[in-house]
Structure 1
């Protein structure tokens, strides 16, 4: 009557496998979100740096941010800014906000949630 316990181990594994998969997907989502947040932060900073140069325009700042985001593999992002380039006096602050959508892996597992997270960062720098 003494069994090897193989059947019991198989049932336990079958019960825990979905939980383990969701946990791994959550860890991957967090890592991706952290990576994209760093890219968005750096893109906003690059945009603010471009925005404090007096000869640059709003289009130049947006182009700088989009170039950075494209090189980092991000798309579908939006950029807004205030007091950019020649529009601001010396000593004024330039603010650039970058927002990027992130599609979560676990989004399909939660009913009623599209799985999209909007990651947004703002950088502010003083004009020269």
Structure 2
């Protein structure tokens, strides 16, 4: 049962970050609004975020499929720094605490829980 939960949560989180990345590529202004910091007219940074997030999602899925739970756990542990950094970015750039903690910090916690579960299997 623990293995199914660990793998299921990891797959869900990787698919979610892949979706977020694709959203930044195909609907950048809406994605930026959901991120919590207003976007400027320069779309390059939104595209970079889309490529980054999509890549993280694909790498996570590939690790889970081809390298196993331990490799995915280490990946999740390291990649949790991204939503923690996003929390700081939102707070330092006029975003609300609700988005910073309710979206980004909560995501970091979920990723760390996923890493712990994967280490346990």
Q: Which of structures 1 and 2 has the larger relative contact order (alpha carbons within 8 angstroms, sep 6+)?
A: 2
TM over 0.5: no
Higher strand share: 1
Larger radius of gyration: 1
Q: Give the TM-score normalised by structure 1.
A: 0.31
Q: Give the TM-score normalised by structure 2.
A: 0.33
